[in-house]
Structure 1
Amino acid sequence: MKVANGYEFVAMLEEIAPKKLAMENDPIGLQIGDLSKKVRKVMFTLDVLEEVVEEAVRKNVDMIIAHHPFLFRPLKKIDMTTTEGRMIRKLIKHDIIVYAAHTNLDIADGGVNDILAKLLALQNTTWIVPTHTENYMKIAVYVPEDSVEHVRLALMQNGAGKLGAEYEECSFRTYGTGEFKPSKKANPTIGEKGELTSVGEVKLEAIVPHSVADKVLKAVRIAHPYEEPAIDLIHLQNLKEQKGLGRIGTLKKEKSIEAFIEDLKGALAIDHVRFIGDPSKIVKKVAIIGGDGNKFIHDVKRSGADVYVTGDIYYHTGHDLLAIDLPTIDAGHNIEKVMKSYLKNVFEERAENLKYEAEFIVSEVHTDPFTFL
């Protein structure tokens, strides 16, 4: 077993919620600490509050992974008499790393909005607001037959071969004969200098996201036995992948808004919601955006949703929702707490596969500031 450092756990998080997915100006990533530190215990939290920091100190946590960035706005000073200042001092004193995955975790496949949609039993879901387009390329590499599996693994382990959300390690092989004549200065793996050589080869093809193409190329060159491997990299015009914020999907059976709200409260483990609109309407198509959903009301209306589930709806936005006739459930920002157990489960599985010696826990601090009396 290996004790991993902060960088290695960040790499794990990057596979789940790549930083490239984050919205502009979202202060994700390292907030406090030294990522070269060895990490034996990781705690997941929605918010980094003083009580959460005290919990981390008490439980000997090495790294906090939060959904909401602790340092959301640039600091002008660190006053140790303030709550923020005390938190920073405690985190530094106890050498605790704080790392945030915010809108990138909202947008990512399997992330916050997918978890919420799954808990509400939504089917045939797609995003509401497009935020990111990924162009694809095709890589074709010519490999001697006895080295195909080694090169294939280099492709797949570095981001190639993923087709859609449900298929991975996709590739195609074509068998043929490769010919080459090494110069007198060459250092051929197969064949003799100055002589034409014929070798049974496989053309190994896979698709590659443009963002990882350089990484895949480097890995293939390292894994390939030839001094000068033949590699084609082709831009694909017919394959793009879009990602976006929020999810919209359908219920298995239509129901009244009142019945839907009762089901929602049970699914999200909450006691109260705020509602805007006509409660007598029937629901079949549901849109959900975790967190603050005020600025997206017109996107949701255009999506054809029967009801919109989100948090932190402003007073005047409520009037706008009535004006456009979009029934809306404000379930509170705190529903995003579902990310804690999700990340814990994914990290445990991946750490076991990588043979990392680490413990993963979720914060037990209730961070919702609102109490209904």
Structure 2
Amino acid sequence: MFAKGQTVIQYMEQLAPKHVAMPDDRIGLQLGTLQKEIKTVLVALDVNEEVVEEAIELGADLIIAHHAIIYRPLKQLQTDTPMGKVYEKLIKHDIAVYISHTNLDVTEGGMNDWMAEALGMENTLPIHDVHTEQLSKLVVFVPKSHHQEVLDAVLNAGAGWIGNYSHCSFNIEGFGTFIPREGTDPFIGKQGQMERVNEVRLETIVPLNIRNKVVQAMLKAHPYEEVAYDLYPMDLKGRSFGLGRVGKLSQPVTLAAMVDIVKEKLDVPHVRVVGDLNRIIKKAAVIGGSGGSFMNSVLFKGAEVLITGDVDYHTAQDALAAGLAIIDPGHNAEKIMKLKVTEWMESKLQENRYDTRVVASSINTEPFRFI
């Protein structure tokens, strides 16, 4: 059995939720339809003509990419332009294109965590916060006989996280009263008679983005015809999601040794370097893509080297003056996402017994050549 397009994207958005993306980022379905079976998914960093030809050869129904193919509004669609040819081939071969960009960058276990882990960084934190979860408190009254069932349902739906602690809840026993009126079908009691029931007041924390999911799970597990529950907005903020990662290295190395690590782990043949190659590096920062604009935040967080792409001349001069080393592996170092997303998607599809195939693109979309 093959997964539907919406199912595949549902798994992708478990990894990289759309709501954590930076404002106005071009993410989501950009071309085609998800209302079809997906036999093959191609995971790519960029979508150019070579990648589309690869997708056609593989028989791919969907491309999941990191970089948008439609970034600025289209005024016309001419098929005799370079990108027009790409759009034409995608449409003719019914290949949908879905983009996961800054949401994949900032999410926990996404792009910047993959890069940081590859480089030996530990106990990492975001460099620049992009999104902070809004929290609600869910309070529901449950008959004691069904308390554990309802508790499991809401916690398994994602409620109950406080920092790195999961399954957090508060439960206190009491009794509830009610009179089932005409037209009701009570789980406990009889119409017209006052009922007094041993109940548990269950309280837990619910992030705003999964509130509906948690409430639906609670209602499904709850035995009552009419469920008594409340949702309270909270001033307490939830988890923060941000660009980049900063953290200590597993062991101090020279800048020269760090260069070798970057080249090996991010699979890049050459890098640009700012700083003394003999300098000892204990704390590093990494930002996938173009992260030079976050130099001051990196300095404030105490990193000695910033690893990011597309660093311009003046940013390099400012970093040198401020004592911050830079290793620039180029924007294409983000290709680490191809295998990582493929592994994630394969595991989710296999877990749910789908036959949909996932393939990491073999096309090198690096536009620069080093000679």
Question: Please, what TM-score do these two structures have when normalized by structure 2?
Answer: 0.94
Aligned partner of 1:328: which letter?
I
* Offset of residue 146 of structure 1: 4.1
User: What is residue 104 of structure 1 aligned with on the other side?
Assistant: 103
* Offset of residue 132 of structure 1: 0.9
Cα distance in structure 1, aligned partners of 2:120 and 2:188: 57
2:230 aligned with 1:255, yes or no? no
Cα distance in structure 1, aligned partners of 2:161 and 2:50: 41
Aligned partner of 1:342: which letter?
K
* Offset of residue 365 of structure 1: 0.5
* Offset of residue 331 of structure 1: 0.9
Cα distance in structure 2, aligned partners of 1:168 and 1:5: 31
Aligned partner of 2:30: which letter?
Q
* Offset of residue 12 of structure 1: 1.2
**Conservation of the 8 A alpha-carbon contact between 2:163 and 2:238:** no
Cα distance in structure 2, aligned partners of 1:354 and 1:172: 33
* Offset of residue 359 of structure 1: 0.9
**Conservation of the 8 A alpha-carbon contact between 2:162 and 2:238:** no
The residue matched to 1:89 in structure 2 has which SS? helix
Alignment of 1:145-224 (within 5 A): 145-165=144-164, 167-224=165-222
* Offset of residue 245 of structure 1: 0.6
Q: Mean Cα displacement is larger for which, 150-159 or 222-231? A: 150-159
User: What is residue 8 of structure 1 aligned with on the other side?
Assistant: 7
User: What is residue 131 of structure 1 aligned with on the other side?
Assistant: 130
The residue matched to 1:349 in structure 2 has which SS? helix
Alignment equivalent of 1:241, drawn from 239, 242, 257: 239
Aligned partner of 1:61: which letter?
A
* Offset of residue 157 of structure 1: 4.7
User: What is residue 278 of structure 2 aligned with on the other side?
Assistant: 280
* Offset of residue 171 of structure 1: 4.0
Aligned partner of 1:181: which letter?
I
2:18 aligned with 1:19, yes or no? yes
User: What is residue 225 of structure 1 aligned with on the other side?
Assistant: 223
* Offset of residue 84 of structure 1: 0.7
User: What is residue 358 of structure 1 aligned with on the other side?
Assistant: 356
User: What is residue 335 of structure 1 aligned with on the other side?
Assistant: 333
* Offset of residue 176 of structure 1: 4.1
Cα distance in structure 2, aligned partners of 1:198 and 1:82: 74
User: What is residue 141 of structure 2 aligned with on the other side?
Assistant: 142
5+ residue gaps, structure 1: none
Q: Mean Cα displacement is larger for which, 85-94 or 254-263? A: 254-263
* Offset of residue 338 of structure 1: 1.0
Cα distance in structure 2, aligned partners of 1:168 and 1:79: 52
2:41 aligned with 1:42, yes or no? yes
* Offset of residue 88 of structure 1: 0.7
Cα distance in structure 1, aligned partners of 2:309 and 2:236: 37
Question: How big is each residue's C-alpha offset from its partner over 1:47-79, in whole Å with a ceiling of 9 and x where there is no partner?
Answer: 111100000000001110001111112112222
User: What is residue 299 of structure 1 aligned with on the other side?
Assistant: 297
* Offset of residue 257 of structure 1: 0.6
**Conservation of the 8 A alpha-carbon contact between 2:307 and 2:326:** yes
Cα distance in structure 1, aligned partners of 2:15 and 2:248: 25
Question: How big is each residue's C-alpha offset from its partner over 1:333-355, in whole Å with a ceiling of 9 and x where there is no partner?
Answer: 11111111111111122222323
* Offset of residue 39 of structure 1: 1.0
* Offset of residue 297 of structure 1: 1.4
2:96 aligned with 1:115, yes or no? no
Relative to structure 1, the CA distance from residue 224 to residue 4 in structure 2 (aligned partners, 3 Å threshold; closer, same or farther) is same
Question: How big is each residue's C-alpha offset from its partner over 1:194-235, in whole Å with a ceiling of 9 and x where there is no partner?
Answer: 112233333333221022223422442344221211113233
2:50 aligned with 1:32, yes or no? no
Cα distance in structure 1, aligned partners of 2:144 and 2:81: 65
Cα distance in structure 2, aligned partners of 1:61 and 1:354: 20
Spell out structure 1 runs of 4+ moving beyond 6 A: none
Q: Mean Cα displacement is larger for which, 88-97 or 318-327? A: 318-327
The residue matched to 2:349 in structure 1 has which SS? helix
User: What is residue 75 of structure 2 aligned with on the other side?
Assistant: 76
Residues paired across the two proteins, number: 371
**Conservation of the 8 A alpha-carbon contact between 2:308 and 2:327:** yes
Aligned partner of 1:48: which letter?
V
The residue matched to 2:283 in structure 1 has which SS? strand
